[in-house]
């Protein structure tokens, strides 16, 4: 019983660890900004060209993108935050201008969370299956040790029958 | 020519349909002659499709512009090589090419195993023929590559210039070989389900086919990255584009499958799981073709958008439902009485590996289809790009790397914690030392530091496997180390081949981490004689040079490259290329600068230069990147090829003891990976 609850706790711990690890990584990867130029590039890379398919604002050679890049630098220099700048472009061009689902919207949370929830669910299932297989092995080993000795009834009857032959 | 080609396709369709019916019916009713007739129909379909492909290639070579496909995908001035590769430049031709590859696989399997696996093979041929029939029906009714134009144009539209590149000449065939190659293990698995022969026979029969398909998928994915890097000119190799992602998905599940069948071979476990994985892999391969062909998810790759998307979707639904129904019918027979001696065992590590691979598959698949879901649910089409995929998949791939290292250390059946800790000591120390050295070298980003030191840890585990094995052989037999190493690998090629593949993957992973975390970038507008600076290089613009031929105009920016000590390293020539048939689509010809006198350009970093714009006033807008460790990705791919070859190569013992044709396979004969 104690072993079981320990296993359950370990499984729960594993699930939490996967979740925390995933989110932790996501937050550290998002937070590396050295100077304004680097920040500007990061913002450009997180936005799409509003006209071309498949180009980020950073790569696109169109004039409108040149202007948008200039706007980003002006706003950064004026002290605007990354979130404010992104929000201003979203207001102009819609959500599609952002390169990854925005977290403000409820449904978009599923994009970010579902992969980790699925993995956590899978990990819990795996932990259950492994423990089940392990338990079965234990049960069979126990059965083998019991069945190695013939039941008393069987011995008694065998002795009786042997006696009859004699 | 067009009529002959179309007739060949129609006859191939009839042959494939007959082959499927005859093989299935003949085997069910126990009529070997009907099976033999079905087998001949498989060969006939292969022959007819070969004829169709040759006719289409010939039509390209003689510029038969009456054929719409030839007119839309080639022109008179294209070099012969690209005339041939135009075969898969558009959607009807690439469907024909795909179907032809499938028919060649079906023919090869049906011929090579004609006397072996008598219970499985007729079903395998039937399943492959059913798959082939689907594509042939598409070709006959929806995407005829031999469709005629009502008039004969003087010249064709030409092949998209982006596709006129050596990488593009070999990337699609590679990927197709991988995608289609997956059909073989899937067909054998379905044959096992249909015939009720559910032992590991189908796994043994398809071991090399699976490895081959996996190798081609790996190469297809890598070559696609290489093409994007060299040809698209944006400084990167992987854009998390829906089509790229779709090519990656079957690779992920295929890798999980390669690992899970090892557990079946060794312990007889996971039979249902293997079936699920191969069904998933096959359907993801078809999904990859569907995404490319349907254009349902907007992507720079959708060169070949068409209206056959619904047909693909219907086929995926049918093959998925059909395969799963077959599996459920045999579910009880496949479910073994699984027992596990210890949770800490290689079996469990393999399952964890499988879980992570499937987690990565789901994450990427989810990101791929999320824009469509969002449009359906909220009416807003969002974009899911690199920032999403990087952040969601990076932790999963890190976990896969760690599991790779642990999995190699943990023993089958049971491993005690104390002995695991003992064997972990060396590799973990190597990882920690690497982390300290990297920190001192200025690698401070936590994800990069963690990722790279994990690579060192896994690398140390892998090298230790070779080292300990060689040492043991040397002590036991007195062989010199080189001989001992060679014999160690030869004694268990699948295992050590797999470890070599691991080394390739580790190298590529380090390359990906380095280039993602430490890319530098600079842009400048330079007049002649002016210079820009990036990462210890000084680039001096020396004006333009121009090249013009009948097909294109090329404008090169001449850049003299100096290192930080002021030493001249050589000339770089990033260029803009204008193909006259597609004047609206100027091409960026990046220059990846290398100098023998500057080893860092050979091994550690790419100086990647792009000419963004050339003004009539003579100024050049230049963009320069330093891409660290990108070369390691390509080197990793080469090592991966070598490792797969070692794993798939016939073993010395196998060559000596040849089982005569028709003889039953010895029970329990091991197939190792």
Q: State whether the Cα torsion A22-A25-A29-A34 is positive or negative.
A: positive
Could you tell me which of B221, B80, B242, B88 has the C-alpha nearest to residue B160?
Answer: B88
The answer to whether the CB atoms of A130 and B343 lie below 8 A apart is yes
With beta carbons less than 8 A apart as the criterion, state whether B107 and B70 touch. no
Residues whose CB is less than 8 angstroms from the CB of residue B101 and which lie 6 or more positions away in sequence, other chains included: B173, B176, B177, B180
**Interface list for A 79-108 with B (CB within 8 A):** 94-102, 105, 107-108
- The residues near A122 (Cβ < 8 Å, ≥ 6 apart) are B355, B358, B359
Overall size of chain B counted in residues: 673
Residue A4's CB is within 10 A of a number of other CB atoms, namely 10
Cβ–Cβ contact A48 with B under 8 A: yes
* DSSP bridge pairs for B387: none
Specify the pLDDT at position A164.
55
Residue B195 burial (CB count, 10 A): 21
- Lowest average pLDDT, out of B12-21, B40-49, B582-591, goes to B582-591
Site from B162, B349, B363, B512 to mutate, A interface, most A CB atoms within 10 angstroms:
B363
Residue contact A133–B381, C-beta within 8 A: no
Cβ-defined contact of B612 to A61 (cutoff 8 Å) = yes
How far is residue B436's CA from residue B443's CA, in Å, rounded to a whole number? Answer: 9
**Are B388 and A53 an interchain contact pair (Cβ–Cβ within 8 Å)?**
no
DSSP 3-state percent helix, strand, coil across chain A (nearest 5): 75, 0, 20
CA distance A118 to chain B (A): 7
B181 CB within 8 Å of a chain A CB? no
Q: Do B370 and A111 touch (CB under 8 A)?
A: yes
**CB proximity B348 to A under 8 Å:** yes
Q: Which long-range contacts (CB under 8 A, 24 or more apart) does B577-582 make?
A: B577/B161, B577/B552, B577/B553, B578/B552, B578/B553, B578/B554, B579/B158, B579/B161, B579/B164, B579/B551, B579/B552, B580/B551, B580/B552, B580/B553, B581/B75, B581/B157, B581/B158, B581/B161, B581/B551, B582/B158, B582/B160, B582/B161
d(CA B158, CA B156): 5
Question: How far are the Cα atoms of A19, B261, B643 from residue B210, in angstroms, in the given order?
Answer: 34, 11, 14
Reduced to 3 states (helix: H, G, I; strand: E, B; else coil), residue B446 is: helix
Q: What's the length of chain A?
A: 166
Domain boundaries, chain B: 1-164, 165-228+243-293+307-331, 340-415, 527-631
Residue B202 CB partners (closer than 8 Å, separation 6+): B120, B185, B188, B189, B191, B192
How is chain B split among helix, strand and coil, in percent rounded to 5?
Answer: 65, 10, 25
User: Beta strand pairing status for B568-572 and B537-548?
Assistant: unpaired
Check CB contact of A66 with chain B, cutoff 8 Å. no
Q: Does residue B339 sit at the A interface (CB-CB below 8 Å)?
A: yes
Min Cα distance A96 → chain B (Å) is 5
The candidate with the shortest Cα–Cα distance to B611, out of B600, B620, B619, is B620
pLDDT band (50, 70, 90) for residue A64: confident
User: Quick check: helix, strand or coil at residue B138?
Assistant: helix
Chain A residue closest in CA terms to B378? A107
Name the residue facing A101 among B377, B382, B396 (closest C-beta). B382
Q: Is the Cβ–Cβ distance between B465 and B500 less than 8 Å?
A: no
pLDDT digits (tens, 9 = 90+) for B224-278: 888 888 887 778 888 888 888 988 999 999 999 999 988 888 888 888 888 999 9
A22 close contact with B: CB closer than 8 A = yes
pLDDT digits (tens, 9 = 90+) for B653-666: 554 444 444 444 43
* Residues B39-80 pLDDT 10s: 999 999 999 999 999 999 999 999 999 999 999 989 888 888
Residue B525 has pLDDT above 60, yes or no: yes
| pLDDT, tens digit, 9 for 90 and up, residues B113-156 | 888 888 889 999 999 999 999 999 999 998 899 999 999 888 88
Identify the pLDDT of residue A52: 77
Coil, helix or strand for B592? Answer: strand
Rounded mean pLDDT of chain B? 88
CB contact under 8 A, B355 and A108: no
pLDDT for B269: 82
pLDDT for position B636: 96
d(CA B350, CA B353): 5
Q: Kindly list the distances between the CA atom of residue B563 and the CA atoms of A57, A59, B183, B598, B651, in Å, as whole numbers in the listed order.
A: 31, 27, 52, 8, 50
Choose, out of B395, B524, B611, B614, the residue to mutate when testing the contact with A (most A CBs < 10 Å): B395
A46's CB contacts (< 8 A; 6+ apart) are: A56, A86, A98, A99, A100, B387
Q: Which residues of B touch A46 (CB under 8 A)?
A: 387
Q: Say how far apart CA B172 and CA B101 lie, in whole Å.
A: 12
Residue of A18, A24, A44, A54 to mutate, testing the B interface (most B Cβ within 10 Å of its Cβ)? A54
Look at residue B427 and tell me whether its pLDDT is greater than 50.
Answer: yes
ipTM computed for the complex: 0.80
Between residues 132 and 161 of chain A, which touch chain B (CB distance below 8 Å)?
133-134, 136-137, 140
- CATH classification of A34-100 is 1.10.8.640, yes or no? yes
CB contact under 8 A, B445 and A32: yes
From CA B382, how far away is CA B260, in angstroms rounded?
36
Residue B585 distance to chain A (closest CA, Å)? 12
Task: Kindly state the tokens that stand for B11.
Answer: 């006859």
DSSP-derived secondary structure for B266-279: HHS--HHHHHHHHH
Rounded-to-integer distance, Cα B291 and Cα B312, Å: 9
Using the Cβ of B343 and the Cβ atoms of chain A, whether some distance falls under 8 Å is answered with yes
Residue B523 DSSP class: E
Share of chain B above pLDDT 90, in %: 55
Residue B586 touches partner A, C-beta closer than 8 Å: no
What is the residue whose two structure tokens read 């069904």? B279
Residue B400 near chain A (CB below 8 Å): no
Instruction: Name which of B296, B231, B292 is nearest B585 in CA terms.
Output: B231
pTM of the model: 0.86
DSSP string, B116-134: S-TTTHHHHHHHHHHHHHH
Average pLDDT over residues B642-647: 93
Cβ neighbours of residue B233 under 8 Å, at least 6 residues apart? B587, B588, B589, B590, B610
| Partners of B614 in beta bridges | B620
Q: Which residues of B touch A59 (CB under 8 A)?
A: 234
- What is the Cα Rg of chain B in Å? 27
Q: What is the pLDDT of residue B552?
A: 81
Q: Cα separation of B608 and B32, whole Å? A: 62
B392/A99 Cβ within 8 A? no
Provide the terminal-to-terminal Cα distance of chain B, rounded to the nearest Å: 47
User: Which residues in chain B touch residue A4, judged by CB atoms under 8 angstroms apart?
Assistant: none
Q: How far apart are CA B302 and CA B282, in angstroms?
A: 21
Whether the predicted pLDDT of A122 surpasses 80 = yes
Other residues' Cβ atoms within 10 Å of the Cβ of residue B661? 9
For residue B624, report the phi and psi dihedrals to the nearest 5 degrees: -120, 140
- % of chain B with per-residue pLDDT over 70: 94
SS3 B487: helix
Could A21 and B381 be called an inter-chain contact, meaning their C-beta atoms sit closer than 8 Å? no
Q: Is B116 left (phi over 0), alpha (psi -120 to 50) or beta?
A: beta
- B505 burial class (0-12, 13-18, 19+ CB within 10 angstroms)? buried
Q: In Å, how far from its chain's centre is CA B7?
A: 33
Does A115 sit within 8 Å of B388, measured CB to CB?
no
Are B241 and A54 a contacting pair, CB within 8 Å?
A: yes
**What is the C-alpha R_g of chain A?**
32
Domain at B1-164: CATH code? 1.20.120
């Amino acid at each position: 019983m104690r072993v079981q609850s320990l296993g359950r706790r370990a499984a729960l711990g594993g699930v939490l660890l996967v979740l925390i690890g995933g989110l932790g990584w996501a937050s550290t990867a998002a937070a590396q900004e050295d100077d304004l130029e680097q920040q500007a590039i990061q913002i450009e890379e997180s936005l799409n060209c509003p006209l071309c398919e498949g180009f980020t604002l950073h790569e696109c050679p169109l004039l409108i993108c040149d202007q948008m890049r200039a706007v980003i630098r002006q706003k950064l220099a004026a002290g605007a935050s990354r979130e404010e700048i992104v929000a201003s472009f979203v207001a102009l061009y819609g959500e599609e201008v952002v390169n990854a689902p925005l977290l403000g919207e409820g449904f978009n949370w599923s994009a970010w969370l579902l992969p980790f929830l699925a993995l956590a669910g899978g990990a819990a299932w795996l932990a259950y299956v492994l423990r089940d297989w392990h338990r079965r092995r234990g049960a069979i080993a126990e059965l083998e040790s019991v069945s190695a000795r013939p039941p008393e009834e069987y011995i008694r009857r065998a002795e009786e029958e042997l006696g009859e032959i004699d | 020519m067009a009529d002959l080609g179309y007739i060949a396709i129609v006859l191939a369709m009839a042959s494939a349909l007959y082959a499927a019916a005859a093989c299935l019916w003949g085997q069910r009713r126990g009529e070997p002659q009907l099976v033999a007739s079905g087998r001949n129909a498989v060969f006939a379909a292969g022959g007819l499709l070969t004829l169709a492909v040759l006719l289409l290639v010939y039509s390209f070579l003689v510029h038969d512009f009456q054929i719409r496909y030839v007119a839309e995908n080639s022109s008179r001035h294209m070099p012969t090589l690209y005339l041939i590769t135009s075969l898969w430049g558009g959607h009807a031709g690439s469907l024909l090419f795909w179907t032809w590859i499938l028919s060649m696989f079906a023919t090869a399997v049906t011929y090579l195993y004609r006397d072996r696996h008598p219970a499985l093979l007729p079903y395998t041929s039937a399943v492959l023929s059913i798959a082939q029939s689907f594509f042939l029906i598409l070709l006959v009714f929806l995407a005829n590559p031999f469709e005629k134009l009502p008039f004969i144009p003087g010249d064709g539209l030409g092949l998209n210039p982006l596709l006129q590149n050596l990488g593009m000449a070999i990337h699609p065939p590679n990927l197709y070989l991988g995608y289609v190659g997956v059909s073989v293990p899937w067909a054998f698995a379905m044959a096992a389900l249909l015939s009720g022969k559910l032992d590991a026979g189908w796994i043994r029969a398809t071991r090399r086919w699976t490895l081959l398909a996996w190798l081609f998928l790996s190469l297809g994915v890598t070559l696609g990255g290489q093409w994007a890097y060299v040809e698209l000119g944006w400084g990167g190799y992987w854009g998390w584009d829906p089509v790229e992602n779709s090519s990656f998905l079957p690779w992920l599940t295929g890798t999980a499958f390669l690992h899970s069948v090892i557990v079946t071979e060794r312990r007889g476990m996971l039979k249902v799981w293997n079936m699920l994985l191969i069904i998933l892999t096959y359907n993801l391969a078809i999904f990859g073709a569907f995404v490319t062909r349907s254009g349902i998810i907007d992507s720079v790759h959708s060169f070949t958008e068409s209206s056959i998307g619904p047909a693909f979707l219907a086929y995926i639904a049918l093959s998925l439902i059909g395969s799963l129904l077959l599996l459920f019918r045999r579910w009880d027979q496949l479910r073994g009485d699984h027992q596990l001696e210890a949770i800490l065992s290689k079996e469990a590590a393999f399952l964890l590996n499988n879980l992570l691979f499937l987690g990565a598959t789901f994450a990427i698949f989810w990101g791929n289809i999320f824009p469509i879901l969002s449009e359906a649910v909220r009416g807003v089409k969002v974009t899911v790009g690199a920032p999403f995929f990087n952040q969601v998949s990076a932790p999963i791939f890190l976990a896969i790397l760690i599991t790779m290292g642990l999995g190699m250390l943990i023993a089958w059946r049971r491993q005690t914690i104390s002995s695991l800790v003992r064997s972990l000591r060396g590799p973990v120390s190597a990882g920690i030392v690497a982390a300290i050295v990297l920190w001192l070298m200025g690698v401070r980003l936590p994800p990069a530091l963690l990722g790279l030191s994990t690579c060192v840890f896994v690398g140390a585990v892998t090298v230790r496997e070779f080292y300990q094995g060689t040492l043991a052989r040397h002590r036991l037999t007195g062989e010199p180390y080189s001989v001992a190493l060679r014999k160690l690998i030869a004694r268990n090629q699948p295992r050590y081949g797999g470890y070599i593949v691991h080394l390739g993957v580790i190298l590529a992973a380090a390359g990906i981490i380095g280039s993602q975390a430490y890319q530098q970038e600079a842009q400048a507008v330079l007049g002649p004689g002016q210079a820009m600076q990036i990462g210890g290089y000084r680039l001096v613009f020396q004006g333009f040079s121009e090249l013009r031929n009948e097909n294109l105009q090329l404008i090169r920016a001449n850049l003299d490259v100096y290192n930080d000590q002021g030493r001249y390293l050589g000339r770089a020539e990033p260029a803009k290329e204008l193909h006259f048939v597609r004047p609206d689509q100027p091409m960026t010809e990046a220059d990846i600068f290398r100098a023998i006198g500057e080893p860092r350009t050979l091994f550690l970093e790419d100086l990647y230069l792009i000419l963004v714009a050339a003004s009539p006033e003579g100024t050049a807008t230049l963009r320069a990147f330093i891409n660290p460790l990108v070369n390691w990705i390509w080197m990793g791919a080469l090592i991966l090829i070598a490792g797969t070859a070692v794993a798939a190569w016939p073993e010395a013992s196998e060559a000596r003891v040849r089982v005569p044709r028709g003889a039953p396979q010895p029970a329990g004969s091991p197939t190792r990976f």
